[in-house]
A and B are shown apart, each in its own frame.
Chain A
Amino acid sequence: MPYRPHRSERIGHGVDKVEFLRLLGEHLKPGDLLSAEEDVRPYECDGLSAHRAVPWLVALPDDLDQLRAVVRTCRTHGVPVVVRGAGTGLSGGALPLDNGVLLGLSKFRRIIEIDPANRQARVEPGVRNLAVSEAARRYGLYYAPDPSSQIACSVGGNVAENSGGVHCLKYGLTVHNLAAAKLLTMDGELLELGGSAPDAPGYDLTAVICGSEGLLGILVELTLKLLPLPDAAHTVLAAFDSIEQAGRAVAEIIGAGLIPAGLEMMDNLAIRAAEQFVHAGYPIDAAALVLCELDGILPQVEADRDRACAIFRMTGASSVRIAADPAERARMWAGRKSAFPAVGRISPDYYCMDGTIPRRRLAEVLGAIGRMAKAYGLAVANVFHAGDGNLHPLILYDANRPGELEQAEALGAEILELCVAVGGTITGEHGVGSEKIEQMCIQFSAAELNQFHRLKLAFDPAGLLNPGKAIPSLHRCAEFGAMHVRGGRLSHPDLDRY
Chain B
Amino acid sequence: MTNAGDDRTEALLEAVREALARRDPLVIRGSGSKDFYGRRYTGTPLEVAGHRGIVAYEATELVLTARAGTPLAEIESVLANHGQMLPFEPPHFGLHATLGGTIACGLSGPRRPFSGAVRDAVLGVRLITGHGELLAMGGQVIKNVAGFDVPRLMVGALGTLAVILEISLKVLPRPETERSMVLAADPPKALARMQELLRQPWPLSGLAYDHGRLLVRLAGADAAVAAAAKQIGGEGLAEQEDYWNALKEQRLAFFHQESPLWRFVVPPAHPHPADCGDSVIDWGGGLRWVRSTDSAARLFALSRHAGGHACLFRGGDDVEPRFQPLPSPLLGLHQRIKQAFDPYRIFNRGRLYAEL
Interface residues of chain A, those whose CB is within 8 Å of chain B, are 115-120, 139-141, 161-162, 164, 168-169, 172-173, 175-176, 185, 189-193, 195-205, 207-208, 210-212, 227-231, 251-252, 254-259, 295-297, 299-300, 302-304, 356-360, 385, 388-390, 423-432, 436, 440, 443-445, 447-448, 450-452, 454-459, 461, 470-471
Contacts and interface: CB of A to CB of B under 8 A. Distances in A.
A117 to B, nearest CB: 4
Contact of A230 (B58, B152, B157, B201): B201
Nearest to B197: A228
Contacts of A227: 201
Contacts of A459: 333, 336
A203 B334 contact: yes
Contacts of A423: 139-141
Given A117-B269, A257-B83, A360-B61, A201 B129 contact: no
Interface in B210-240: 220-224, 226-228
Interface string B314-354: 00000000011011011111101101110000000000110
A201 B143 contact: no
Given A191-B330, A429-B143, A444-B147, A119 B135 contact: no
Contacts of A357: 141
A227 B149 CA distance: 24
B172 interface: yes
Given A175-B152, A208-B152, A426-B146, A195 B329 contact: no
A197 B309 contact: yes
A368 to B, nearest CB: 17
Interface in B190-204: 195, 198-203
Given A191-B333, A455-B337, A389 B153 contact: no
B266 interface: yes
B120 A176 contact: yes
B260 interface: no
Contacts of B131: 447, 451
Interface string B167-194: 0000011101000000000000000000
A196 B62 CA distance: 29
**Leading 6 A-B pairs by shortest Cβ distance:** A257-B173, A197-B308, A207-B152, A300-B224, A117-B269, A303-B221
Given A201-B309, A207-B152, A297-B224, A425 B340 contact: no
Nearest to A177: B120
B176 to A, nearest CB: 7
Nearest to A227: B201
A383 to B, nearest CB: 14
B60 A455 contact: no
B41 to A, nearest CB: 16
A4 B112 CA distance: 46
A135 B306 CA distance: 25
Given A192-B330, A451-B129, A161 B145 contact: yes
A205 B147 contact: no
A185 to B, nearest CB: 8
Contacts of B246: none
Contacts of B50: none
B157 A296 contact: no
Contacts of B224: 296-297, 299-300, 303
Contact of A201 (B133, B223, B324): B324
Given A205-B333, A451-B129, 16 more contacts: A189-B333, A201-B324, A202-B352, A202-B353, A203-B161, A204-B153, A257-B174, A297-B224, A385-B143, A427-B146, A428-B143, A429-B145, A432-B147, A443-B147, A447-B133, A458-B337
Give the interface centre of B139, B145, B174, B334 by most chain A CB atoms within 10 Å: B145
Contacts of B337: 203, 455, 458
B91 interface: no
Nearest to B308: A197
23 contacts: A162-B149, A164-B143, A175-B120, A189-B329, A195-B307, A195-B308, A201-B323, A202-B326, A204-B106, A204-B152, A252-B60, A259-B173, A295-B201, A296-B201, A304-B221, A388-B141, A425-B144, A429-B145, A436-B146, A443-B146, A451-B341, A455-B337, A459-B336
Nearest to A431: B145
Contacts of B202: 297
Contact of B135 (A193, A296, A451): A451
B341 to A, nearest CB: 7
A445 B265 CA distance: 39
Scoring A199, A205, A455, A458 by chain B CB atoms within 10 A of each residue's CB, the highest score goes to: A199
